[in-house]
Amino acid sequence: MAADRRGKAETLALRRRLLSDSCRLFYPEDPIKIVRGQGQYLYDEQGAEYLDCVNNVAHVGHCHPLVVQAAHEQNQVLNTNSRYLHDNIVDYAQRLSETLPEKLSVFYFLNSGSEANDLALRLARQYTGHWDVVVLDHAYHGHLSSLIDISPYKFRDLDGQKEWVHVAPLPDTYRGLYREDHPNPAGAYASEVERVVNSVQEKGRKIAAFFAESLPSVGGQIIPPAGFFQEVAEHIHRAGGVFVADEIQVGFGRVGQHFWAFQLQGEDFVPDIVTMGKSIGNGHPVACVATTQAVARAFEATGVEYFNTFGGSPVSCAVGLAVLDVLEKEQLQAHAASVGSFLTELLRQQKAKHPIIGDVRGTGLFIGVDLIKDEATRTPATEEANYVVSRMKENYILLSTDGPGRNVLKFKPPMCFSVDNARHVVAKMDAILTSKLGAQGGSLELNLQPIARTFQPAQERGSTASQESLKRQREQGAEVWRGPGNPSHPFPWLCLEGLPEHQVGRN
């Protein structure tokens, strides 16, 4: 297969020689070479299977056959730009409009989340005639120059804050200014935005837009208190600006109860602009901006064409439509709600057992586990979070951290993530936390050896991984589990019940 024609070491050496170090790898000390993906699983060049807990781009599952087929079929017929009439683009716009409040009825198609946010900024400035932007602290909105400028997560390490950018506190009710014991955190955080707006106006400046992720993810998997966006929108509208909801990581049914994460704020809240990306193409570069007639008309009034060479191509729209079809057919929004609440409940049980877990927050398959040094200060347990991530990788589970303290374990897996996956991950996490710290916050520090463990032979489950690779893993000290578990279960290799303790991670 073309993807694994080189040994891993050679691929790494070539990458180091030919690619910039700015393009980082996961697990830089021991990167993984992934050659195949299916559903919620990724496979390395040896055929080892990794459970993917973080890739929200592969929304309906890695290489979903219906999405792949839709792209292939359309590629065989036509792929061109959107200056010709074609049904795919109007079908896609129509289908998206059915998911959104009526007011958001004009669509632009693009290739990346960054392009979507950059266009949102242009729309906002054109519509309002203003220039300045208010953003939430620790936000990330994309890699274009315009978006680095409105991403405190990036600009703090670069040139710093531009005079037209204004930062409001992150509405983090666990570690932020106003916490879970505040009688009205939504109002208190919105007053902070009002304070920022007032100070901008006092300087004689004018606000074009407020940008926020509907659930700030880089900020640490934050769930803003309900009602916050409504009050912010009032302050921003009063100042003549528009509200931009960045749904690039969190939209499309991920939050379970709703299709869009901004709907968690309440039925009465409608942004002026919504940006979409990542998940909507399941890995194919598709992005979209939805806005109101009024905003679109103001943009048109310049007389300048908006042209995007690849955005809205027949193939991209076929892919987008297929993703919507799969979401519907497989009822993945409802699935995210039920698996997400099951996973959250298991993680909350872990919180009761391990004091290092300060908070478990989330909705649907968007969950954060906030690791702390101690409850009194809630100091981020950064090294411990890194430790958990690297031990999970040794256990073939891909997890990552977010938040300014890089201490929040984030879960945003492909939406086909199962109840058994949830059980498996939490059992592993429990074993790792217990062996590292002891339950109930003991500071027991065991001398841990990495556990190399692989699953049942892949070809027994219809996968192509070879006995050779399995033999090789065994020779390298990997422990291959063939049961007990429940053999009648669709994923018996993921049922950990009944495993001796040493096999689930303590050694």
Ligand X SMILES: Cc1ncc(COP(=O)(O)O)c(C=O)c1O
Least distance in angstroms from the C-beta of 194 to ligand X:
24
- Should residue 151 be labelled a site residue for ligand X when binding is judged by CB under 6 A? no
Is 87 buried (19+), middle (13-18) or exposed (0-12) by CB count in 10 A? exposed
Pick from 45, 137, 172, 246: which binds ligand X (CB under 6 A)? 246
- Should residue 112 be labelled a site residue for ligand X when binding is judged by CB under 6 A? yes
* 172 vs 407: CA distance, rounded Å: 14
Q: In b/e form, how buried is each residue of 205-234, taking b as 16+ CB within 10 angstroms?
A: ebbbbbbbbbbbbbbbbbbbbebbbbbbbe
For residues 275 and 117, the answer to whether their CB atoms sit within 8 Å is yes
- Should residue 282 be labelled a site residue for ligand X when binding is judged by CB under 6 A? no
Residue at shortest CB range from ligand X: 113
Q: Quick one: which segment of 28-36, 198-206, 221-229, 245-253 binds ligand X (CB under 6 A)? A: 245-253
Between 260 and 279, how does the x/- string for binding to ligand X read (CB under 6 A)?
A: -----------------xx-
Pick from 36, 138, 141, 354: which binds ligand X (CB under 6 A)? 141
Closer residue to ligand X (CB): 114 or 263: 114
Pick from 37, 47, 142, 358: which binds ligand X (CB under 6 A)? 142
* 344 vs 368: CA distance, rounded Å: 9
Q: Quick one: which segment of 47-55, 139-147, 453-461, 488-496 binds ligand X (CB under 6 A)? A: 139-147
Pick from 61, 101, 113, 311: which binds ligand X (CB under 6 A)? 113
Least distance in angstroms from the C-beta of 136 to ligand X:
11
Pick from 43, 109, 140, 417: which binds ligand X (CB under 6 A)? 140
Q: Quick one: which segment of 88-96, 141-149, 169-177, 420-428 binds ligand X (CB under 6 A)? A: 141-149
Residue 487, number of CB atoms within 10 A of its CB: 10
* 29 vs 364: CA distance, rounded Å: 32
Least distance in angstroms from the C-beta of 35 to ligand X:
23
* 250 vs 273: CA distance, rounded Å: 15
What strands, in cross-sheet order, belong to the sheet with 357-363? 357-363, 366-371, 408-411, 400-402
Please tell me whether the peptide bond between 285 and the residue prior to it is cis, using omega within 30 degrees of 0: no
Closer residue to ligand X (CB): 138 or 354: 138
Between 171 and 210, how does the x/- string for binding to ligand X read (CB under 6 A)?
A: ----------------------------------------
Q: Quick one: which segment of 16-24, 140-148, 308-316, 426-434 binds ligand X (CB under 6 A)? A: 140-148
Residue 69, number of CB atoms within 10 A of its CB: 12
Which residue in this structure is represented by tokens 């940006």? 275
For residues 433 and 356, the answer to whether their CB atoms sit within 8 Å is yes
For residues 256 and 340, the answer to whether their CB atoms sit within 8 Å is yes
φ/ψ of residue 451, rounded to 5: -95, 120
Least distance in angstroms from the C-beta of 498 to ligand X:
40
Closer residue to ligand X (CB): 58 or 431: 58
Least distance in angstroms from the C-beta of 111 to ligand X:
8
For residues 330 and 180, the answer to whether their CB atoms sit within 8 Å is no
- Should residue 249 be labelled a site residue for ligand X when binding is judged by CB under 6 A? yes
Residue type, 189: Y
For residues 262 and 254, the answer to whether their CB atoms sit within 8 Å is no
Between 10 and 49, how does the x/- string for binding to ligand X read (CB under 6 A)?
A: ----------------------------------------
Pick from 117, 265, 407, 454: which binds ligand X (CB under 6 A)? 117
Q: Site residues (CB under 6 A) for ligand X? A: 112-114, 117, 140-143, 213, 246, 248-249, 277-278
